[in-house]
């Protein structure tokens, strides 16, 4: 997809933007459609009925991500995710993947700072097959040295593709590494290349034993299912798994920041780019009114959702200095996240000029109340996306899995719209004043090498 | 492409499976077809559970109609919602946004589309639909908006020139298509976009965004009667010109073996191997589709992924696809790998392809692929947006409904011999174009 078309797809629901949108728009679950249970061994189970098509998506979410890693051992969660496709004693090599493929299913996995998730989407009559394999690899994975040595090369290729050859990828990585001194959000999900070079299969194996257990996981199944039968299947395959003592998570609290951090990256022959972040709270942050998070979410919408949003209107249309501008915030982070803004300048425009225009936009939000029409726009979009999101079972499962894993309480989804609707113009101004400040700001600029 | 980066997750696989087969199985009992008074074909699927409507109008107006103004179709489409005689750009955006509806356009080599997603409640749908119709009949392309959009487009094109994957794919299509209108990227070139005038855009709009050139696909919970009324309104707003569309002449494409290396300072080399292959409607389409599924079109289970990624750790992603177009579309294999592994990878890919053309899939592989395609059928039509895209495709390529109903049985009939014959006929190993973009270590 060319960026050019983004103008038309900054609206929600387009695949590439899925995770930006998560920050803003959620589908409430009517209680009758959702069932939540915890097995005796601690496994969380969330089932959601959607009978539009004879299809089901089966997810498992582990509460383990790069946020749980330590210096020198970054990238373990993601590398383990790759190794999870290498087979078990019972189902060696690619048996699992081949079976899902033969049934006409799709499968994949993803790792974030906060979690690692695996899923299969397939015709609903084959759900049991997916559960059979997925439950088996929760504790029977075979991690061999020869597989690891090949797979780590694949991961390095992935890193080259996504980060090392991409100025925007480098800038993103540098933003987090610079913004956070101690918080493990400092480190990239994929890991530093240096750590990938020193990683061993033993590291992976230890990581697996520490974190992959029923009491650190949530199974989410959405689709054409019968609750009772599905619960029986889950008990059949997961019920006998033993609880594991999960070691204490290392809490790496972030110390205060003393002023704005500015990082300038020079890469020969690359277009300029700006990405910045303010440290802000999430719903997990202690001693913060959760309404602040909802107000920050609305603030992000004011800045970047739709053509009449501030960044679009001012930087792209009026000042004509940016070809694209975006913002994002996820209140469902385990640790304090960044409120992000990123800008692709029009080629040839001065970075300084764009920064000062951007600062004016931020200052205005701190000084003046946003218009009623702006708030109404966000609310209309939230309302509509509640409906539109029902069109994807995978999306529904992702929201449930993410919120359960990161925050622990899926009833937040039901209250989401209500809370967004409560946000007032003065609250938006208050959170802008409180959080979009120099002392929590980090900005990374990419410039052509001098 | 890049914009999702700030929230991306790392995914283990790299699925690029371009669906080149249209499937509506049992679901098609619910598809109704209709023709509007001025002759636009409409396909409608009633999807009861969600109170929303998706409308997609498809035009025979992709970038192959750009002529010498490369980028014209895309520029025109991107400007559609930037002004009408009565409304400015921000008023238009405000109407869609404040009603929670989504206006969208897309352009590929053959087709373009204009679409609207809205809630079905009248208070949201009515204003959104009125705005949508106004754009169809009366988009005005104000000068300042044209200039801004050109500037942004050119900026993006220049940026892309520093991205090895963009460079490689643009160059590859140029090499396989030569002078053919499929050769240029839909977004155009910086020089060509610079030369596009407002008049060019207006002319393109008049001539192409037109009832004579359109088909309509709708998926909604609304009753058929209301959908027909909407289709008639759309049809009327498109009835603005009687100009006849000129049919593109059939061009011959020169297929010749080539090896191209372009130096670029990146850690990975971006590689394409392929050639121009079949048209949509070709009798070899299904055999090629099934064969390619085994070879490189089914993600992890495909041979390419197994050999290059799983067994050798050479790459994060390798894939192949057959993409039939109105005229001959490409067959291609794509991979990224560390520069010093480029030659090794190319050699391996070429050997694997030669072997596949000669021997086809094993019996086991063929059985697996057929099972996978047939069993996976419901997944391809499990959302309104999937169905919408299929309806649009059926309309555009005049695919017969019977053909769709029999799709699974057609797949099940395909034999190893069909696949070998189709690969031999349509993928000539001696006409392959191989392109490598990467640093000096990637060179022969």
Evaluate if residue A95 carries a pLDDT over 60: yes
The pLDDT assigned to B250 comes to 63
The pLDDT of B354-374, averaged and rounded, is 97
CA A418/CA A399 separation, integer angstroms:
17
The fraction of chain B above a pLDDT of 90, given in percent, is 80
Model ipTM value? 0.90
Helix (H) or strand (E) holding B424: helix B416-426
Question: The whole model's pTM is what?
Answer: 0.92
CA B290/CA B411 separation, integer angstroms:
8
- Asked if B33 contacts B45 with a C-beta cutoff of 8 angstroms, the reply is no
Tokens of A379: 């609310």
Q: In this predicted model, what pLDDT tens digit does every residue of B59-103 receive, in sequence order?
A: 999 999 999 999 999 999 999 999 999 999 999 999 999 999 999
Q: In this predicted model, what pLDDT tens digit does every residue of A177-199 receive, in sequence order?
A: 999 999 999 999 999 999 999 99
Predicted confidence band at B255 (pLDDT cuts at 50, 70, 90)? Answer: confident
CA B32/CA B42 separation, integer angstroms:
8
A167, with CB counted inside 10 A (0-12, 13-18, 19+), is buried
**What phi and psi values does residue A244 have, to the nearest 5 degrees?**
-120, 145
The residues, any chain, with a CB within 8 Å of residue A349's CB and separated by 6 or more, are: A272, A321, A322
Evaluate if residue B215 carries a pLDDT over 90: yes
B interface mutation test: which of A51, A388, A397, A402 has the most B CBs within 10 A? A388
The pLDDT assigned to B240 comes to 73
The pLDDT of B226-252, averaged and rounded, is 80
The pLDDT assigned to B5 comes to 34
The pLDDT assigned to B381 comes to 82
Alpha-helix runs per DSSP H in B219-362: 224-237, 285-292, 303-304, 342-359
Closest of B235, B225, B274, B232 to residue B253, by C-alpha: B274
Would you list the domain boundaries of chain B?
A: 12-237, 258-442
Q: In this predicted model, what pLDDT tens digit does every residue of B330-355 receive, in sequence order?
A: 999 999 999 999 999 999 999 999 99
CA A428 to chain centre: 24
Q: Which CATH number fits domain B258-442: 3.40.50.2300, 3.20.20.80, 3.40.50.300, 3.30.830.10?
A: 3.30.830.10
**What phi and psi values does residue A159 have, to the nearest 5 degrees?**
-65, -45
The pLDDT assigned to A370 comes to 97
Closest of B309, B302, B282 to residue B418, by C-alpha: B282
Which residues of A are less than 8 Å from B345 in CB distance? none
- Tokens 């356009």 correspond to B105
Would you list the domain boundaries of chain A?
A: 29-238, 261-448
Q: What is the mean pLDDT of chain A?
A: 91
Chain A contacts in chain B segment 191-250 (CB below 8 A): none
Chain A contacts in chain B segment 157-196 (CB below 8 A): 158-160, 162-164, 185-187
Evaluate if residue B252 carries a pLDDT over 50: yes
Chain B residue with Cα closest to A270: B162
Residue B52: strand pairing partners: B119
CB atoms within 10 A of CB A336: 18
Evaluate if residue A23 carries a pLDDT over 60: no
The pLDDT assigned to B404 comes to 62
Q: In this predicted model, what pLDDT tens digit does every residue of A219-242 receive, in sequence order?
A: 999 999 999 999 999 999 999 999
Instruction: With both helix axes pointing from N to C terminus, report the angle between A201-211 and A76-83 in degrees, rounded to the nearest 10.
Output: 90
Evaluate if residue B409 carries a pLDDT over 80: yes
Instruction: Tell me the count of A-B CB pairs closer than 8 A.
Output: 276
- Tokens 């690619």 correspond to A94
Dihedral sign (CA A353, A358, A360, A361):
positive
- Tokens 């394409």 correspond to B272
- Asked if B262 contacts B167 with a C-beta cutoff of 8 angstroms, the reply is yes
The pLDDT of A18-23, averaged and rounded, is 33
Out of A337-346, A354-363, B24-33, least confident range: B24-33
CA A108/CA B10 separation, integer angstroms:
10
Chain B residue with Cα closest to A191: B10
The pLDDT assigned to A247 comes to 82
CB contact under 8 A, B12 and A169: no
Chain A contacts in chain B segment 1-30 (CB below 8 A): 1-13, 15
Predicted confidence band at B248 (pLDDT cuts at 50, 70, 90)? Answer: low
Q: In this predicted model, what pLDDT tens digit does every residue of B113-129 receive, in sequence order?
A: 999 999 999 999 999 99
The pLDDT of A119-146, averaged and rounded, is 97
Q: In this predicted model, what pLDDT tens digit does every residue of B169-200 receive, in sequence order?
A: 999 999 999 999 999 999 999 999 999 999 99
- Asked if B375 contacts A99 with a C-beta cutoff of 8 angstroms, the reply is no
Predicted confidence band at A121 (pLDDT cuts at 50, 70, 90)? Answer: very high
**What phi and psi values does residue B118 have, to the nearest 5 degrees?**
-145, 160
The residues, any chain, with a CB within 8 Å of residue A133's CB and separated by 6 or more, are: A91, A95, A96, A99, A100
Q: How far is B42 from chain A (nearest CA, A)?
A: 22
Q: How far is B38 from chain A (nearest CA, A)?
A: 29
- Of the candidates B101, B158, B311, the beta carbon closest to that of A347 is on B158
Evaluate if residue B15 carries a pLDDT over 70: no
Q: How far is A398 from chain B (nearest CA, A)?
A: 12
Measured CA to CA in angstroms, residue B64 lies from A310, B72, B177 at distances of 36, 10, 12
The pLDDT assigned to B246 comes to 60
Q: Which CATH number fits domain A29-238: 3.30.830.10, 3.50.50.60, 3.20.20.70, 3.40.50.300?
A: 3.30.830.10
Q: In this predicted model, what pLDDT tens digit does every residue of A413-422 receive, in sequence order?
A: 888 989 999 9
Chain A residue with Cα closest to B76: A5
Evaluate if residue A2 carries a pLDDT over 50: no
The pLDDT assigned to B402 comes to 62
The pLDDT of A313-325, averaged and rounded, is 96
Q: How far is B122 from chain A (nearest CA, A)?
A: 13
CA B274/CA B432 separation, integer angstroms:
5
Topology (CATH level 3) of domain B12-237: Cytochrome Bc1 Complex; Chain A, domain 1 (3.30.830)
Residue B214: strand pairing partners: B59
Taking the Cβ of residue B134 and every Cβ of chain A, the question of whether any pair is shorter than 8 Å is answered with no
Topology (CATH level 3) of domain A261-448: Cytochrome Bc1 Complex; Chain A, domain 1 (3.30.830)
Which residues of A are less than 8 Å from B187 in CB distance? 2, 4
B312, with CB counted inside 10 A (0-12, 13-18, 19+), is middle
CB contact under 8 A, A306 and B93: yes
- Asked if B95 contacts B131 with a C-beta cutoff of 8 angstroms, the reply is yes
Predicted confidence band at B243 (pLDDT cuts at 50, 70, 90)? Answer: low
The pLDDT of A324-349, averaged and rounded, is 95
Query: Higher model confidence: residue B276 or residue B254?
Result: B276
């Amino acid at each position: 997809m060319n960026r050019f078309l983004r103008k038309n797809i900054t609206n929600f629901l387009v695949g590439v933007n899925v995770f930006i949108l998560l920050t803003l728009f959620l589908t409430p679950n009517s209680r009758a459609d959702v069932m939540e249970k915890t097995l005796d061994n601690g496994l969380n189970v969330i089932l959601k009925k959607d009978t539009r098509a004879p299809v089901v998506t089966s997810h498992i979410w582990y509460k383990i991500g790069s946020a749980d890693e330590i210096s020198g051992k970054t990238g373990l969660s993601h590398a383990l995710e790759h190794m999870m496709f290498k087979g078990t004693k019972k189902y060696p090599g690619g048996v699992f993947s081949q079976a899902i493929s033969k049934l006409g299913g799709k499968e994949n996995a993803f790792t974030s700072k906060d979690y690692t998730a695996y899923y299969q989407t397939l015709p609903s009559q084959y759900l049991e097959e997916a559960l059979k394999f997925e439950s088996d690899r929760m504790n029977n994975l075979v991690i061999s040295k020869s597989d690891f040595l090949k797979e780590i090369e694949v991961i390095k290729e992935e890193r080259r593709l996504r980060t090392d050859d991409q100025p925007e990828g480098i800038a993103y990585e540098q933003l987090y590494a610079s913004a956070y001194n101690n918080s493990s959000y400092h480190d990239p999900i994929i890991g530093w290349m240096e750590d990938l070079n020193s990683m061993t299969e033993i590291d992976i194996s230890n990581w697996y034993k520490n974190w992959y257990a029923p009491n650190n996981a949530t199974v989410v199944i959405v689709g054409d299912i019968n609750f009772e039968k599905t619960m029986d299947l889950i008990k059949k395959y997961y019920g006998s798994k033993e609880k594991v003592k999960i070691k204490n998570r290392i809490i790496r609290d972030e110390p205060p920041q003393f002023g704005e951090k500015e990082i300038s990256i020079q890469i020969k022959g690359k277009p300029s780019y700006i990405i910045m972040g303010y440290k802000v709270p999430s719903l997990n942050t202690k001693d913060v009114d959760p309404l602040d998070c909802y107000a920050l979410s609305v603030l992000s919408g004011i800045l970047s959702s739709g053509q009449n949003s501030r960044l679009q209107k001012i930087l792209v249309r009026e000042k004509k200095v940016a070809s694209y501008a975006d913002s994002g915030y996820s209140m469902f982070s385990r640790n304090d996240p960044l409120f992000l803004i990123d800008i692709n300048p029009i080629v040839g425009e001065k970075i300084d000029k764009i920064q000062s225009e951007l600062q004016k936009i931020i200052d205005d939000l701190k000084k003046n109340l946003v218009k009623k029409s702006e708030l109404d726009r966000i609310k209309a979009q939230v309302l509509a996306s509640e409906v539109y999101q029902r069109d994807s079972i995978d999306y529904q499962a992702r929201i449930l899995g993410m919120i359960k894993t990161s925050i622990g309480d899926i009833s937040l989804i039901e209250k989401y719209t209500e809370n967004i609707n409560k946000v007032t113009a003065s609250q938006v101004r208050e959170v802008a004043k409180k959080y979009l400040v120099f002392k929590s700001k980090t900005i990374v600029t990419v410039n052509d090498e001098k | 492409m890049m914009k999702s980066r700030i929230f991306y997750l790392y995914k283990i696989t790299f699925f690029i499976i371009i669906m080149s087969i249209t499937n509506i199985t049992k679901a098609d009992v619910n598809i109704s077809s209709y023709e509007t008074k001025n002759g636009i074909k409409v396909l409608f699927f009633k999807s009861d559970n969600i109170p929303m409507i998706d409308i997609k109008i498809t035009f025979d107006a992709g970038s192959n109609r750009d002529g010498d103004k490369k980028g014209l179709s895309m520029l025109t489409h991107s400007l559609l919602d930037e002004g009408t005689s009565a409304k400015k750009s921000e008023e238009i955006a405000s109407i869609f946004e404040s009603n929670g509806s989504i206006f969208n356009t897309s352009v590929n080599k053959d087709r373009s589309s204009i679409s609207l997603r809205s809630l079905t409640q009248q208070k949201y749908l009515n204003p959104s639909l009125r705005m949508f119709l106004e754009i169809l009949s009366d988009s005005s392309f104000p000068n300042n908006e044209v200039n801004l959009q050109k500037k942004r487009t050119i900026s993006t094109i220049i940026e892309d020139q520093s991205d090895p994957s963009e460079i490689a794919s643009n160059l590859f299509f140029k090499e396989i298509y030569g002078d053919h209108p499929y050769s240029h990227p839909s977004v155009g070139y910086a020089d060509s976009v610079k030369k596009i005038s407002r008049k060019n855009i207006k002319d393109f709009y008049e001539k192409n965004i037109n009832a004579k050139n359109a088909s309509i696909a709708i998926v909604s919970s609304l009753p058929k009667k209301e959908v027909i009324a909407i289709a008639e309104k759309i049809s009327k707003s498109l009835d603005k010109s009687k100009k006849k569309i000129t049919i593109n002449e059939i061009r011959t494409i020169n297929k010749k073996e080539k090896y191209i290396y372009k130096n670029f300072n990146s850690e990975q080399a971006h590689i394409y191997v392929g050639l121009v292959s079949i048209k949509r409607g070709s009798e070899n389409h299904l055999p090629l589709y099934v064969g390619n599924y085994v070879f490189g079109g089914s993600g992890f289970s495909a041979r390419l992924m197994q050999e290059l990624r799983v067994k050798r750790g050479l790459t994060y992603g390798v894939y192949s696809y057959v993409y039939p177009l109105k005229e001959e579309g490409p067959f291609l294999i794509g991979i990224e790998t560390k520069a010093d592994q480029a030659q090794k990878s190319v050699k391996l890919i070429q050997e694997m392809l030669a072997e596949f053309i000669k021997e086809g899939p094993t019996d086991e592989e063929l059985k697996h692929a057929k099972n996978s395609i047939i069993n996976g059928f419901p997944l391809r039509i499990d959302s309104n947006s999937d169905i919408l895209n299929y309806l649009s495709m059926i309309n555009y390529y005049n695919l017969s409904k019977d053909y769709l109903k029999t799709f699974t049985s057609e797949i099940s009939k395909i034999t190893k011999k069909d696949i070998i014959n189709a690969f031999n006929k349509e993928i000539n190993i001696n006409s392959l174009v191989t392109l490598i973009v990467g640093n000096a270590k990637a060179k022969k």
